[in-house]
Amino acid sequence: MRILAFILLCLVLFSGCKKDSPKPPEKVSLVSPAKNSECTPVQSDGETSSIVRFNWNAADNTEVYVLQVTNLTTGTIQYKNTSATIETLSLAKGTPFSWVVVSENSETTTSVSSDSWLFYNPGSEVSHVPFPAELTFPAQGSTAFKDVNNEISLKWTGQDLDDDIKSYDVYFSNENPPVTLLQNTNAGVNELKVQVVSDEVYYWKVVTTDEEGNISTSNITEFKTR
């Protein structure tokens, strides 16, 4: 009887000492530069660069925020680690960028990224390059189900600060990068249907052109069909 009582006591003590699993960090909400906007730099940083301030809301269970800013012209990414919710970076003038903030916690390997926002760092230009189109469906790495006509819909969105997008060139193929021009569409078209076969991997991208002849190219998205 004493042995049983001892075992029960040990179990109670052991269960009381168990630590709760660490909570993963939560996703931040971005504040500024605002989405699809022209930012207002803090100050000039020479002839070709200016200082841009980034701001976001705090996220629970987060020790470190990793600010990631991508130059959409060159593909170069700048990183900055901080425990604050405000940070600055020197960025090229007259250039479109995207930015995200990744939440991290040393007690877990799990991290979470914010939404990605686009903005334009102004320079002396009078015409803005359109933002790269955002490919919304099918999503990167997803599986798309074809309809009864063996077709799926490609969907995207486009943004331009001058609001003068002229056309989209949609490239689609089972080769990466896609080199086959599926169709040239006007600015009012953001969806195309395309013939596909089952169990095939496809790649697609969208090239945006504005009335001034400025061009931007989206990321390449890959998906599989069913």
24 domain residue, yes or no: no
pLDDT of res. 8:
60
Which residue matches tokens 């990744």? Answer: 102
Mean pLDDT is lowest, of 10-19, 55-64, 107-116, 165-174, for 10-19
140 and 109 assigned to the same domain: no
pLDDT of res. 9:
59
34 and 107 assigned to the same domain: yes
149 and 215 assigned to the same domain: yes
56 and 115 assigned to the same domain: yes
In terms of DSSP bridges, do strands 181-186 and 165-173 run parallel, antiparallel, or are they unpaired? antiparallel
pLDDT of res. 18:
54
Q: Mean pLDDT across the stretch 66-86?
A: 96
Q: Which residue has the higher pLDDT, 8 or 22?
A: 22
Structural domain of residue 173, as residue ranges? 134-225
Domain boundary (121, 146, 176) is at 121
Number of domain units in the chain? 2
Q: Residue 142: helix, strand or coil by DSSP? A: strand
Domain boundary (65, 99, 121) is at 121
8 domain residue, yes or no: no
Q: Mean pLDDT across the stretch 67-81?
A: 96
Cis preceding linkage at 25, omega within 30: no
170 and 115 assigned to the same domain: no
Domain boundary (88, 121, 154) is at 121
Q: How confident is the model at residue 19 (pLDDT cuts 50, 70, 90)?
A: low
77 and 151 assigned to the same domain: no
64 and 112 assigned to the same domain: yes
CA atoms in the 13 A half-sphere facing the CB of 116: 13
Predicted confidence (pLDDT) at residue 193 exceeds the cutoff of 60: yes
56 domain residue, yes or no: yes
In terms of DSSP bridges, do strands 221-225 and 201-210 run parallel, antiparallel, or are they unpaired? antiparallel
188 domain residue, yes or no: yes
CATH code of 172's domain: 2.60.40.10
Residue 64: name the closest of 102, 100, 29, 31 by CA. 102
% of the chain surpassing 90 pLDDT: 87
For residue range 111-141, what is the model confidence (pLDDT) as tens digits? Answer: 999 999 999 999 987 789 999 999 999 999 9
Beta-carbon contacts of residue 108 (< 8 Å; ≥ 6 apart): 22, 23, 24, 25
pLDDT of res. 3:
65
34 and 98 assigned to the same domain: yes
171 and 110 assigned to the same domain: no
117 and 138 assigned to the same domain: no
174 domain residue, yes or no: yes
Mean pLDDT is lowest, of 13-22, 187-196, 208-217, for 13-22
13 domain residue, yes or no: no
54 and 106 assigned to the same domain: yes
100 domain residue, yes or no: yes
84 and 139 assigned to the same domain: no
pLDDT of res. 10:
59
